[in-house]
Amino acid sequence: MATDVMAEPVVQTGVKIKSELMQQRVRAAQLFLLPMLLALAVVAGWPLLRSIYFSFTDASLNNIDGAEWIGFGNYLRVQTLDSGAVRYRGLLVDPAWWNAVWNTLRFAVLSVSLEAVLGMLVALVLNAEFRGRGIVRAAILIPWAIPTIVSAKMWSWMLNDQFGILNDLGMRLGLLSQKVAWTATAETAMTAVLIVDIWKTTPFMALLILAGLQMVPKDIYEAAEIDGVHPVKQFFKITLPLVRPALMVAIIFRLLDALRIFDLIYVLTPNSSATKTMSVLARENLFDFDKFAYGSAMSTLLFLIIALLTILYIWLGKVRFDGGDR
């Protein structure tokens, strides 16, 4: 009994020291993060708040400082005609906006899904041991290292209907009966954009997944092989669950990029309604059409859509996987 009584103060002292140490670490982490948070507030927070503010005004490029507050007029307003009929105007009933929303979501879902599958396959190949693996790993990153504008311009020449190499190869191999205007035709414009985006960003997805594969202990696979587990079953029961955190991070990063895609579409298909995304439409209204307030409303809704989809994706992933672990 005496020994137990003496041990209790020692345990309490150890817990107290550990608690104080954790508090010091938290304070140190907050101190180191403070400059970054201040920089983000100045560089990202302030412009975002200004854009949200302008979406509730009648601002234009020629009258930004003298903009007047109009509330939700840019989003939705009711207009009564002389005949007594009621007409709804604003962004929420604009067909061009909803077409851009549909194009953005379709592009994001298709591109990220295909890149996740292809990235996983590439990562599995790069994770295997073979001669010249380092050279292959470096070569596979070249498309991702090329700037997006350069990639878009390069592919615009390759997809050209008159002198593009893809049409020439298709005609020579008998795959095409006539030359196709890939970026100028509404039926093929989105396909062309998806091809270029998947070619460029699949290496990025593969790189993040490969980092997760490198963390998986090889002892697990050796034990599975001894037990006679089929390689396909090893992938779904061992590899995929262990790589899940890296895969989720890769999908989130790519989803954010895909939802705010601008430069690739602006270069490849600048005036095509079949590929015009929310970012492209917002830029047109902000600067080309001198509808600064209307474009700010589009930018605000774009931010909200991206934030909601990202939170929903993280929440669904947490509920599904954490709940399954229990």
- Whether the CB-CB separation of 144 and 203 falls below 8 Å is answered with yes
Please report whether residue 219 resides in a domain.
Answer: yes
* Mean pLDDT on 61-84: 84
- 73 within a domain of the structure (yes/no): no
pLDDT digit string (tens) for 197-214?
A: 999 999 999 999 999 998
Count of structural domains, the chain: 2
pLDDT of residue 8: 56
Question: What pTM was estimated for this model as a whole?
Answer: 0.83
User: pLDDT at position 229, please?
Assistant: 84
Residue-number span of the structural domain to which 4 is assigned: 1-43
Count Cα neighbours of 93 within 13 Å in the Cβ-side half-sphere.
11
Q: What is the pLDDT of residue 326?
A: 42
For 239-268, the three-class secondary structure string (H helix, E strand, C coil) is: HHHHHHHHHHHHHHHHHHHHHCCCHHHHHH
Q: Do residues 149 and 263 touch, judged by C-beta distance below 8 A?
A: yes
Residue 325 has pLDDT above 60, yes or no: no
Percentage of the chain beyond pLDDT 70 is 90
Phi, psi of 88 (to 5 degrees): -95, 130
pLDDT digits (tens, 9 = 90+) for 3-50: 554 455 555 665 666 678 888 888 888 899 899 888 888 888 888 899
Residue 75 lies in a domain: no
- Amino acid identity, position 29: A
207 and 275 assigned to the same domain = yes
CB-based contact 119:202 (threshold 8 Å): yes
d(CA 322, CA 320): 6
Mean pLDDT of 263-280: 91
Flag whether pLDDT at 225 surpasses 90.
Answer: no
What is the average pLDDT score of the chain? 86
Residues 200, 310, single domain; the answer is yes
Domain membership of residue 4 (yes or no) is yes
Give the pair of three-digit tokens for residue 111.
């591109």
In this structure, the answer to whether residues 178 and 318 fall within a common structural domain is: yes
Mean pLDDT within 107-125: 94
**CA dist., res. 324 & res. 313, Å (int):** 16
Q: What CA–CA distance (Å, rounded) separates 52 from 91? A: 14
**Same domain membership, residue 200 and residue 127:** yes
**Predicted confidence (pLDDT) per residue in 163-189, tens digit:** 889 888 998 888 888 888 888 888 899
Residue 88 lies in a domain: no
- Lookup: tokens for 69: 């507050």
137 or 86, higher pLDDT: 137
Q: Which of 3-12, 76-85, 88-97, 253-262 has the lowest mean pLDDT?
A: 3-12
- CATH number of the domain within which 250 lies: 1.10.3720.10
- Give the mean model confidence (pLDDT) for residues 282-305: 92
Residue 55 domain-assigned? no
At residue 321, does pLDDT exceed 70?
no
Q: Can you tell me the mean pLDDT for 294-302?
A: 94
> Does residue 304 share a domain with residue 205?
yes
Residues 122 and 235 both lie in one domain: yes
Burial of 107-126, coded b for 16+ CB within 10 Å and e otherwise, reads bbebbbebbbebbbebbbeb
Q: Under a CB-based contact definition with an 8 Å cutoff, are residues 276 and 183 in contact? A: no
Mean pLDDT to the nearest integer, 118-134: 89
The pLDDT confidence band at residue 238, using thresholds 50, 70 and 90, is confident
Top mean pLDDT of 3-17, 66-80, 128-142, 278-292 is at 278-292
Residues 153 and 277 reside in one and the same domain:
yes
User: Distance between CA atoms of 220 and 11, rounded to whole angstroms?
Assistant: 37
Do 3 and 116 lie in a common domain? no
Position 69 in a domain: no
Query: Does residue 285 sit within a domain?
Result: yes
pLDDT at 52: 93
Residues 125 and 239 in one domain: yes
pLDDT at 101 over 50: yes
Distance CA 143, CA 197 (A): 10
Same domain, 34 and 182: no
